[in-house]
Chains A and B, each alone.
Chain A
Amino acid sequence: MGTETKQLQWQENSEQTVLNVAGTWNFEQGLLDFAQFKQELESKPKLTHIVCNAKSLGPWDSSLVSFLIQLESCVDEVSYQNFPSGVLQLKQLAQAVPNSQTNETLAPRPSLTERLGLSVIESLKQCMHFLSFWGECVLSFVRFFQGKANYRRKDFLYFLYDAGPASLPIVTLISLLIGMIMAFVGAVQLERFNAGIFVASMVGFAMAREMAAMMTAIIMAGRTGAGYAAQLGSMQVNEEIDALKTMGISAFDYLVLPRMLALMITLPLLTIYANLIGIFGGALVSTWVIDVSWQQFWDTMLDTVGLENFIIGFAKSCVFGVVVALTGCYCGMISGRSATAVGKATTSAVVLGIVLIISMDSIINFVSTMLGI
């Protein structure tokens, strides 16, 4: 028995209408099309009472339970004969808790102007939030300089190592390649005017003033800033930040301060390093592609690229250090409490970081041009 598929047979006599439920009810072979069954039911004279009989029922599963529940919803009274107790038990279980949630009415979708207004208010709120985060950080730094900040030196040293020496390989690779690329591009163009030697000025000027600081900052935003956001976000998920708060430890002093300090120290240092490597990359290409010696390259660069360019680049990197650390920590601290939210926090830390780096860069360039430096 039990190999034939599910069957429903009507059996009517003067006293009652019997529905014979038979065969194998296996949900993997598809469910019963209830809409079709309902049509069949409605084509009959109005039924108020149906007796379901399962005397030739084969193996069954929840597809049968599902059918019975639907049947009960469109017939006043259904009684059961010869059903296995499991079927009825499952049916009762499913009907035990009434569906309480479907009555919830959805708010109508707001109009375009309303949505615009709401999103403006929302972004203003976020700006305020960011500013207050900024303020908390400043307060935390004040406590740090007063020697009152509660943080672990070991944490700070770890973050210093992670943002500094541990980032050296990738910074080396990227700045070397940037220097080489610029030298390639410049050398080909300048050679046409017989001014190949000025590739030294070009590479030196671009690295010192722009590329070293910007590329290092972007690398660190992707590497360390994203890392901070993910760490703090997961701590948010595990309620670790709540635990610190209730122990009376400021999350800013304990978590944000060491991270910010570490990046603010290492990013300028990494930028100086990136300068050297980038210029070395430029020299490498110059000596190879055009006829310039190492000595010539070095002398020309020092002659034409003033110290103020290096100072501006260094100043930029100090600003970028704050920007990267701030966006990383901010996005982590405001993260929601789920895996998806941590992912979002990490993404926005990188995106916000890069946007802010480039906009700050433009502002500094604008100001320094106005001042004529």
Chain B
Amino acid sequence: MIQSTSALISSEDQTHIQVDNLTLRYGDRLIQENLNFEIKRKDIFVIMGGSGCGKSTLLKHMFGLLEPAEGDVRFNGVSLWQQELETRQKMMQRFGISYQAGAIISSLTLAENIAMPLELYTKLSKAEISELVSLKLMMVGLAGFEDYYSSEISGGMLKRAALARAIALEPEVLFFDEPSAGLDPLSARNLDELILTLSDSLNTTIVIVTHELASIFAIGSNSVFLDAQSKTMLTTGDPNYLLKTSKDARVQRFLRRGDYQQPKETI
């Protein structure tokens, strides 16, 4: 919300989000275990891995939709899961979330969708809300689309509208679930740039699930790699650095689209 204060209190390198020994399960089925990593303030953190390895599930555990089987997620050192429900919901108000399919509510116009969090959590007047809504739509390049319904706009516009709703309350952390899936390369790139600009100027920490390699290298400043077979994380770090230094064949094959031969071991 007020970026500069939070930036003043915390130095740039401070840990913002800490994932502690997290285990994810659906009922009895184990999805991922032993997840430990840190996200620094203003990072653009990429969660990557093959299809079905639990990337979206991990994200949902981080923003409070699913309760972890074990472990915890801390924001500025404050545990998310050891809170009372009310306190947790207060914390969750500081998150902006953009879902995989946009999740723009189909019975409301775009303006009403974006106005919803503002109406719920602020005491602003109708005129003030509509001014902010228009500004948010302008920022994502959808000026003038206030009165459209989600069924009347294209997939790329839907993703941008979802982004506008996610930044409505000027969150501290933005979570994206596959923001560029299903978009053409140019739109995907534009969306990447939009995310970069927003994070840069709003001082937001961004957590993003994606398997678009181009996006991963273009915007990711840190990452975690999940593996479906071993059901745990293989590595964490800057994706560009991982590409150069990781010795793990699975990570290399992913980052090089399968174009990787394991070096022959010297005896």
Q: Which of B61-69, B140-148, B176-184 contacts its partner?
A: B140-148
CB of A336 within 8 A of CB of B122, answer no
Q: Whole-angstrom distance between the alpha carbons of A27 and B170 in the complex?
A: 9
CB of A93 within 8 A of CB of B1, answer no
Q: Whole-angstrom distance between the alpha carbons of A60 and B198 in the complex?
A: 14
CB of A61 within 8 A of CB of B1, answer yes
Q: Provided the pairs A61-B1, A102-B144, A340-B106 are in contact, do residues A86 and B202 lie with their beta carbons within 8 angstroms? A: yes
Total number of B residues with any Cβ neighbor in A under 8 Å = 34
Task: List the B residue with the shortest CB-CB distance to A94.
Answer: B138
Interface residue? A48 (CB, 8 A): no
Q: Mark A72-114, 1 if CB is under 8 A from B, else 0.
A: 0000000000001111011001111111111000000000000
A346 CB, min distance to chain B CBs, angstroms = 15
CB of B143 within 8 A of CB of A97, answer yes
CB of A338 within 8 A of CB of B150, answer yes
Instruction: Out of A59, A84, A339, name the residue touching B2 (CB < 8 Å).
Output: A59
Give 4 new A-B contacts, CB below 8 A, not counting A100-B144, A101-B144, A101-B145. A66-B135, A93-B198, A94-B135, A101-B143
Chain B residues whose CB sits within 8 angstroms of the CB of A69 once the complex forms: 135, 138
Q: Whole-angstrom distance between the alpha carbons of A240 and B201 in the complex?
A: 43
Task: List the A residue with the shortest CB-CB distance to B2.
Answer: A59
CB of B143 within 8 A of CB of A62, answer no
Q: Whole-angstrom distance between the alpha carbons of A87 and B201 in the complex?
A: 7
B136 CB, min distance to chain A CBs, angstroms = 7
CB of A97 within 8 A of CB of B141, answer yes
CB of B131 within 8 A of CB of A90, answer no
Total number of A residues with any Cβ neighbor in B under 8 Å = 37
CB of A28 within 8 A of CB of B139, answer no
Interface residue? A26 (CB, 8 A): yes
Q: Provided the pairs A87-B201, A340-B107 are in contact, do residues A61 and B3 lie with their beta carbons within 8 angstroms? A: yes
Q: Whole-angstrom distance between the alpha carbons of A41 and B123 in the complex?
A: 28
Q: Whole-angstrom distance between the alpha carbons of A39 and B124 in the complex?
A: 22
Task: List the A residue with the shortest CB-CB distance to B203.
Answer: A86
Q: Whole-angstrom distance between the alpha carbons of A102 and B5 in the complex?
A: 37
Q: Provided the pairs A90-B202, A97-B143 are in contact, do residues A27 and B106 lie with their beta carbons within 8 angstroms? A: no
Instruction: Out of A59, A65, A99, A339, name the residue touching B143 (CB < 8 Å).
Output: A99
Interface residue? A337 (CB, 8 A): yes
CB of A27 within 8 A of CB of B143, answer no
Chain B residues whose CB sits within 8 angstroms of the CB of A94 once the complex forms: 135, 138-139, 143
Interface residue? B151 (CB, 8 A): yes
CB of A2 within 8 A of CB of B5, answer yes
Chain A residues whose CB sits within 8 angstroms of the CB of B122 once the complex forms: 27-28
Q: Whole-angstrom distance between the alpha carbons of A325 and B157 in the complex?
A: 39
Q: Mark B1-18, 1 if CB is under 8 A from A, else 0.
A: 111110000000000000
Q: Provided the pairs A27-B122, A28-B124 are in contact, do residues A65 and B3 lie with their beta carbons within 8 angstroms? A: no
Segment 249-296 of A: residues with Cβ below 8 Å from B: none
Q: Whole-angstrom distance between the alpha carbons of A97 and B38 in the complex?
A: 36
Chain B residues whose CB sits within 8 angstroms of the CB of A97 once the complex forms: 138, 141-143
Chain A residues whose CB sits within 8 angstroms of the CB of B234 once the complex forms: none
Interface residue? B200 (CB, 8 A): yes
Segment 26-74 of B: residues with Cβ below 8 Å from A: none
Q: Mark A28-66, 1 if CB is under 8 A from B, else 0.
A: 101100000000000000000000000000111111011
CB of B3 within 8 A of CB of A100, answer no
